[in-house]
Structure formats: C-alpha cells, structure tokens
Amino acid sequence: MKVLFFSPGFPAEMPHFTRGLKQTGATVLGVGDQPEGILPEVARDHLDAYLRVPNLWDGPALLEAIRRWVEPIGGIDRIECLWEPGMLLCAGLREAMGLPGMSVAQTTLFRDKEKMKQALDAAGIRTPHHTSATTEAQCRAAAERIGFPLIIKPIAGAGSADTYRVDGPDDLERVLGLIRHVPEVSVEEFIDAREHTFDTICAGGRILFRNMAWYRPNPLIGRSVQWISPQTVNLKDIWRPELAPGHRLGEAVLEALGFRTGFTHMEWFLKEDGEAVFGEIGARPPGARSVDIMNYTCDTDVYRGWAEAVVHGRLSEPVERKYNAAVIFKRAQGDGRIQRIEGLERLLARIAPHVVCIDLLPIGAPRRNWKQTLISDGYLIVRHPNLEACLEIADRVGTELQLYAAP
C-alpha cells in the first residue's frame, strides 16, 4: 500500500506515526513544507520519499504538485492526515483524487463544532444546549435562552483559545468585547463536571483500541491559571462502572458521525449525577503527549497500532492496560530564561521508580509562552498501577518541583 502522509515532521507526534506506517510495510510518501534537511530523524528514516511544497495550505497547488509527483509510480492508495488544520484540506485531496477515506462532508462534522453537535442532537445524543452566533445580538439572545453560567467559544477552536465562561449579563458584555475578532462562536450551557477523554483507533467502523484519560483540572481552568501544573491522567481501569456512560456516549458518537478508520479523540463530561455529556471530537489523535501516556499505560506502541489499523485493518498484538500514567506540565515562575530547577532531586529520591520520562527545558533556555503551548516549560510522565498512588505522585510533581526564569 502506498500511503501519502501529510506533514510527517510536524507536530511532534507525526514522525512517530510516520515510523508506524513504515513498520507495517507500507510505502510512505511524505508531503510537507519543512525542508527535508530539518525533518526530525525519525521521520526522515521512515519515509520512502518526501515532497517539499512552498505552501502546504494552497489546496489547488498542493493537489497539482502531488498529482505530478505520484504519477510516475502509478498513483497512491491513501492520504492520511493526523493534524487538525490539515484535515479538511486532505479530505479535499482525497475527493479530487478519488481515494478512499474521510470525505469533506464527513470531516466537516469533526471540525465545525456547531455542525458536529447538530448531527449528534439529531441522533439523540446528549450535548450541552447550544447555538451558534455571528453577532452580539445573537449571543445575547442565546444567553437569554440558555441561561447562565454559559460558555462562549469559537466554532473551530483549539487549545481553549477565545473560550470563556460567562457568569451573568455584565460578564457577557465583557466577553463580547474580548471576542470581536472571532467570526462565529458557539454559545453553550456550562457543564459543571469532571472532564475525560474517549480515544479510539478504529478500522472499518470497529473499535480496535480504546482509551480514557482524565484532565486535572478541567482544561479551561488549567489554561487560564498560570501557577497550575495541568495533568492528563491516562486511566488503567477504563471499565470502572462510573465510566460506562462515557463508553456508551463515545460509541454512539462514532456511529452517528459515521467514523470508519483511524484515530479519534473525544472529550466528554462526567457529571456528579453520573450523566455523560458530549464535549467535542476530532478525527485525529490528541496532542500534548497523550499518545505517549497511552503507550506508558499499555507498554505498547499506539503509533504503530494506528498504522496497522489503516494499512491492515487490525492490530498485530492484544493491548493490556497495566498502569495509570500521568503527564504533568510545568510552568516556570518569572519571565525570560530558565535560571534554576528546584526540588527535582528531592522528588526523585522518593518517586524515581515511577517516573518514566523527564523532559524539562534546560537551564538557559527561553521559557515558552504558557498560553500558546500545551507542553508548557516541560513535563514529567509518571505511572503506577494504583490510581490513588498515581494521583498522589502526580500532585507531588505539581507542587514540589519548580522552575524559575528571569530576564
């Protein structure tokens, strides 16, 4: 099988999916805008060929370039894209080239949060009460109907950008002032609940691998308070009874949206009364090291698993869930360059056997803009078979490890 893989060098997970594809025996052709010389080694080592285009986002030019490129080898069998901004573009390429996989209409249901929820409502799935709005008047009318508190967010958002909780009419006026640059927003009932993921790898409409994680705290809070060290905790025991509504919700969503083959990443709310409410879904893997913590949970290779599902329609090995695995993102105090890292040695003296990955910015490195990065100034990954123990270790990393920056 000849697979064209979109942007094999970026973002960080893509080189590993490239490797996974190659390991299935597929011919892997990469297309991207990075010069071949700066592709991460893992990507370069597992590509059969690479086409660099000057502008990856110019659809017609991209189609033309790919057509010319693959003609001498008799065309390709699939186009795969696991990067959110490229999903619709690649669906268009598939349609133009008559290739199987997700169409533009199908992909739109995973990109446009309003259309997504309309499709789910039509299937009787519990979503937050919602409407879309393009004017301030429509936002006020929606607020009137839905009531406070509510959430206002872009219909095609990512990373909680321009997403606000609104507690009353005055707050609404304040938020309307902040979102003037967003052309279309979704106005939603605020769901007060724990936030989980439901992630799958599917082939032919069958779930081959499923996963659940827990965000601590909820992303909206984690991304608006700088001193928090946000965690994603990948759960070992996803069959606990209280999570059952999430499985049913996730399965119903995949069915309603007609998902067939590939990776999915759904976010959902688990309310105190046990109800599961839909959040959002992407036809792609989660970012921010979530695939890595799946691997640490199962001691498996989910990157390769995805590729096997795409190329062979099955996984080559059974998956066993052995650990809860948590990634804890750290944010430095102060601005400028990292000056010192405190507490790491003391912490490791206690928890070292449970730490599987340490990736912190080195001393001297400029700290990252915490609003624009999910991985912050670095992270630790820890794991433990017992959930309580895993949470305690993760919280220790949150409180006892500190990075300091200064100009």
Ligand X SMILES: Nc1ncnc2c1ncn2[C@@H]1O[C@H](COP(=O)(O)OP(=O)(O)OP(=O)(O)O)[C@@H](O)[C@H]1O
- Contact present, 80 and 8 (Cβ < 8 Å): no
Beta sheet of 164-166, edge-to-edge order: 130-133, 185-189, 150-154, 164-166
Among 1, 51, 96, 220, binds ligand X (CB under 6 A): 220
Site string for ligand X, 117-156 (x = CB under 6 A): -----------x----------------------x-x---
Give the separation between CA 184 and CA 139, rounded to whole angstroms.
Answer: 10
Among 8, 86, 219, 230, binds ligand X (CB under 6 A): 219
Among 13, 80, 112, 195, binds ligand X (CB under 6 A): 195
> Nearest approach, Cβ of 84 to ligand X (angstroms)?
8
To which residue do tokens 């259309």 refer?
115
Give the separation between CA 280 and CA 104, rounded to whole angstroms.
Answer: 18
| Distance, first Cα to last Cα, the chain | 52
Site string for ligand X, 251-280 (x = CB under 6 A): ----------------x-----------xx
Is 160 near ligand X (CB under 6 A)? yes
| Alpha carbon 217 to chain centroid, angstroms | 16
Is 190 near ligand X (CB under 6 A)? yes
Among 141, 158, 179, 355, binds ligand X (CB under 6 A): 158
> Nearest approach, Cβ of 403 to ligand X (angstroms)?
23
Give the residue with the Cβ less far from ligand X, 188 or 308: 188
Query: Which own/partner contact pairs does 114-122 have at CB distance under 8 Å and 24+ positions apart?
Result: 114/155, 114/184, 114/186, 116/257, 116/280, 116/281, 117/186, 117/278, 119/256, 119/257, 120/253, 120/256, 120/257, 120/278, 122/256
Give the residue with the Cβ less far from ligand X, 20 or 287: 287
The listed partner (ligand X, Mg ion, none) that binds 381, CB under 5 to 8 Å by sort, is none
For 153, the 3-state DSSP assignment is strand
Give the separation between CA 229 and CA 102, rounded to whole angstroms.
Answer: 36
Is 182 near ligand X (CB under 6 A)? no
Give the residue with the Cβ less far from ligand X, 97 or 228: 228
Give the residue with the Cβ less far from ligand X, 59 or 149: 149
The listed partner (Mg ion, ligand X, none) that binds 195, CB under 5 to 8 Å by sort, is ligand X
Give the residue with the Cβ less far from Mg ion, 2 or 115: 115
Give the residue with the Cβ less far from ligand X, 105 or 161: 161
Is 92 near ligand X (CB under 6 A)? no
**Token pair recorded at residue 188:** 């939603």
Residues that bind Mg ion (CB under 5 A): 267
> Nearest approach, Cβ of 370 to Mg ion (angstroms)?
17
Give the residue with the Cβ less far from ligand X, 140 or 165: 165
Among 218, 333, 339, 373, binds ligand X (CB under 6 A): 218
Is 157 near ligand X (CB under 6 A)? yes
For residue 304, the number of C-alpha atoms closer than 13 Å in the C-beta half-sphere is: 15
The listed partner (ligand X, Mg ion, none) that binds 220, CB under 5 to 8 Å by sort, is ligand X
- Contact present, 310 and 3 (Cβ < 8 Å): yes
Residues that bind ligand X (CB under 6 A): 128, 151, 153, 157-161, 163, 188-191, 195, 218-220, 267, 279-280
